[in-house]
Amino acid sequence: MEDDRDRGLLYDSDPSSPSLSPPRPFALTFFDRERHVKFLEMMYHMLPRPYQSQEINHLTLAYFVISGLDILDALDRVHKDAVADWVLSFQAHPRSKADLDNGQFYGFHGSRSSQFPSKDNAIFTPNGSHLASTYSALAILKIVGYNLSNIDSESMLTSMRNLQQSDGSFMPIHIGAERDLRFLYCAAAICFMLNNWNGMDREKAKEYILNCQSYDGGFGLSPGSESHGGAAYCAIASLRLMGFIGDDCLSNASAPSSKANIRSLLDWSLQRQFADGGIQGRPNKPSDTCYAFWIGATMGILGANKFIDEIALRSFLLTCQSEYGGFAKSPGVLPDLYHSYYGLAAFSILGEAGLKPLCLELGVTEAAATGL
Mean pLDDT of 244-269: 76
Residue 88's Cβ-count burial label (10 Å; 0-12, 13-18, 19+) is middle
In a domain, 4, yes or no: no
Mean pLDDT of 205-228: 97
Question: CB 11: neighbour CB atoms within 10 A?
Answer: 14
Question: CB 239: neighbour CB atoms within 10 A?
Answer: 24
Q: Report CA-CA distances (Å) from 342 to 3, 23, 116, 254, 370.
A: 30, 20, 31, 31, 21
What is the b/e burial string over 268-282, where b = at least 16 CB atoms within 10 angstroms of the residue's CB? bbeebbbebbbbbbe
pLDDT computed for residue 96 by the predictor:
78
| Longest CA–CA separation in the chain, Å | 60
Q: Which helix (H) or strand (E) is 234 found in, with range?
A: helix 229-241
**pLDDT over threshold 60, residue 280:** yes
Of the candidates 275, 177, 260, the residue with the CA atom closest to the CA atom of residue 218: 260
In a domain, 85, yes or no: yes
CATH code: domain of residue 276: 1.50.10.20
In a domain, 2, yes or no: no
User: pLDDT exceeding 90 applies to what percent of the chain?
Assistant: 75
Question: CB 353: neighbour CB atoms within 10 A?
Answer: 7
The backbone torsions φ and ψ at residue 100, rounded to the nearest 5 degrees and listed phi first, read: -70, -10
Instruction: Give residue 5's pLDDT band: very low, low, confident or very high (50, 70, 90).
Output: very low
d(CA 182, CA 132): 8
* pLDDT tens by residue, 299-329: 999 999 999 999 999 999 999 999 999 999 9
Rama region for 38: left / alpha / beta (φ>0; ψ in -120 to 50; rest): alpha
In a domain, 94, yes or no: yes
pLDDT computed for residue 103 by the predictor:
75
**pLDDT over threshold 50, residue 4:** no
Q: How far apart are the first and last CA of the chain?
A: 27
In a domain, 23, yes or no: no
* pLDDT tens by residue, 149-158: 999 999 999 9
How far is CA 283 from its chain centroid? 23
In a domain, 120, yes or no: no
Of the candidates 84, 83, 101, 86, the residue with the CA atom closest to the CA atom of residue 150: 84
Domain range for 79 is 33-45+55-114+126-370
Instruction: Give residue 252's pLDDT band: very low, low, confident or very high (50, 70, 90).
Output: low
Say how many domains are in the chain. Answer: 1
